[in-house]
Each structure stands twice: as structure tokens, then as C-alpha cells.
Amino acid sequence: MSEPIPRKGLHRLVYASNFSAAFPSSVSDQDHEIGEIIRASIRNNRAVAITGLLLARDRWFMQVLEGPTDAVAATYERIVRDPRHRRAAVIESGPAPARLFANWNMCARRLSRADDAILARLALDETRLGSLSPAQAVALLVEVRDLQAQTAAEQLG
């Protein structure tokens, strides 16, 4: 974490990290593990009013956490110590006027090769995720949020 997080108000924190050697290498085991992470996240985040989204790609995670400042700080401090990832780099951390991911205490989406067009359109350099601008990272997360909402609506209808 680059800077201490102030302790008041609605806060948004976005970070990126790399899978560690402790994270499974096969896609099916990864999906299982991500499912476990989301189960624990929903349970914990709901209790402290955190909402957000977790993206997973071939070797990296990107996650947004939104909520009361102290809850975001405590949750991120726990996440960053998790041995399943490493080299977490905070892209954005600061006060937020409103929640952008209010629908989920946590939701995950794996970005597959079919989603390459999104990354290309946003001109994201996957090898330098930690140095993405906050605007680029939030644009990606919001685009995937809308995709996820659309997928959920299609599954219902």
C-alpha cells in the first residue's frame, strides 16, 4: 500500500496484484479458489458495508473496494497479506462521492481472451497494471460491471 488510508467517509480503493505460486495453476482450480474467495468476501464485506468487484485474468487480479473508510482499510490490510497473491499495487485510494459497485458485496469475473477487445479499447498495458491511471482502472471495472450485469440479466431472461 502506498499511503495510509484516512479513517472517515466513503472510500474507494482499487489495486492490482499478481497470482502467487500458492494460487492454483489450472483454470478449474483457479475458478474454485476464486469461488472460495468470493464466499468469504461476501460474508465479511456484507458485515461492514463493503461493495466491489474482483477481476481475474491469466496471472493477475484487479479489485475495487468501496465502503466506510475504516472498513476498507481493515479489509485491504487483510487482503494484502493473503498468500494467494503478491505485489499488490494500489492504483487509487481516496474519498468517493458515491458507490459505483453498489449491487455486490463482492462479485468476480474472469476476463478471458474474448474480453481482449475491452482491454484494447481502454489501451490497458497488462504488463504494467500497477501503473495504470485511476481513470483507466475505474473505466475497466465499470465496463466489466456493466458486462456482468448484462450476463446476469441474460441468465435470468
Q: Contact residues for ligand FAD (CB under 6 A)?
A: 22, 33, 37, 40-41, 44-45, 54, 61, 63, 65, 75, 78-79, 82-85, 106
Q: Where are the beta strands (DSSP E) in the chain?
A: 10-19, 51-56, 60-68, 85-95, 108-110
Q: Which is nearer to ligand FAD, 44 or 136 (CB)?
A: 44
Q: Which is nearer to ligand FAD, 7 or 78 (CB)?
A: 78
CA distances from 77 to 9, 18, 61, 72, 108 (A): 18, 16, 16, 8, 20
Residue whose C-alpha is closest to residue 84's, from 50, 52, 56 = 56
Is residue 38 within 8 A of residue 107, CB to CB? The reply is yes
Instruction: Report the amino acid identity of residue 135.
Output: A
Rounded to a whole number of angstroms, the minimum distance from the CB of residue 137 to ligand FAD is 15
Instruction: Report the amino acid identity of residue 147.
Output: L
Rounded to a whole number of angstroms, the minimum distance from the CB of residue 19 to ligand FAD is 9
C-alpha cell belonging to residue 129: 497494471
Rounded to a whole number of angstroms, the minimum distance from the CB of residue 81 to ligand FAD is 7
Q: Which is nearer to ligand FAD, 61 or 101 (CB)?
A: 61
Q: Which is nearer to ligand FAD, 19 or 156 (CB)?
A: 19
Rounded to a whole number of angstroms, the minimum distance from the CB of residue 70 to ligand FAD is 14
